[in-house]
Amino acid sequence: MSTLPKVAWIGLGIMGSPMSENLIKAGYSVTGYTLEQDKLDRLAAAGGAAAGSIAEAVKDADVIITMVPASPQVEAISYGPEGILENARAGALIIDMSSITPQTSIDLAKNAKEKGIRVIDAPVSGGEAGAIEAVLSIMVGGEKADFDAALPILEALGKTIVLCGPHGSGQTVKAANQLIVAVNIQACAEAVVFLEKSGVDLNAALDVLNGGLAGSTVLTRKKDNFLNRDFKPGFRIDLHHKDMGIVTDAARNVGAALPVGAVVAQLVASLRAQGDGGLDHSALLRAVERLSGQQV
């Protein structure tokens, strides 16, 4: 019989599904809950158990992992009579891997502590490919003892796992990550349009650029998106818009100027307003093409 902790997984989207499956492959017993039946069916097919409610999923769990879109969803699944805090056992550990505001994480940890439940915030970077390949970067906020307890599970999901500070610190680092990624994608998108309009072989150009100082994980991961105009969502513009709101608000609160970030936040918002919110964030290329007079 397995001595590994029992895991409840709440939220089986683009990231949550492959991540939960990697835990199953690592030998963990995973009971999942999400709103879509097909995602529950996928979990069951992978060897997990599908629950009919949050309460059912978490009642016997040692560890509860949440991966939902934003702060309102984290609050919705955590609080209230059907939520995690009312139904998890004392001593359970919540690992919230959603990307939310630092204050939401701080509040959740405080409220959970009153129930005898431990919490760490552990947002991730690496996109769908990183989730599938279990090579995510995981930035953690919380107590060192809770981080240590969670580490074997996190090691089944990611490659770079770092305790960044107290509750909310993981979310602050994730906000910085999203700032860097958005600016990087925007720069790549502008380069792509510049190169194409100049008549350069785009494939060759991106290869040589990625071999020098201009190279990046963004360019490696998104090169084919740019070349093929394939914007099937790995990470949706809608979610990056939410994250840019988090980082700009957090930066304002601490007095940090984000002049380039503020511009890119507006470009992300404009792309979303044009109906492209469901596309991958590499679709920032479409916005640059529109500004450059190209029909998209």
Active site positions, annotated: 174
Q: What is the DSSP pairing of strand 124-125 with strand 136-141?
A: antiparallel
Output the six-digit token pair for 194: 């510049």
CA distance 222 to 100: 24
CA–CA distance, 188 with 16 (Å, rounded to integer): 28
User: Which amino acid is located at 115 in the chain?
Assistant: K
Q: How far apart are CA 157 and CA 136, in angstroms?
A: 7
Q: Which two tokens stand for residue 282?
A: 């590499």
Closest to 33 in 3D by CA, of 55, 53, 62, 13: 53
Look at residues 228, 273, 209, 177 and name the one whose alpha carbon lies nearest to residue 287: 273
CA angle 296, 230, 201 (to 5 degrees): 80
Which amino acid belongs to residue 45? Answer: A
- Are 17 and 42 a contacting pair, CB within 8 Å? yes
CB contact at 8 A, 296 and 288: no
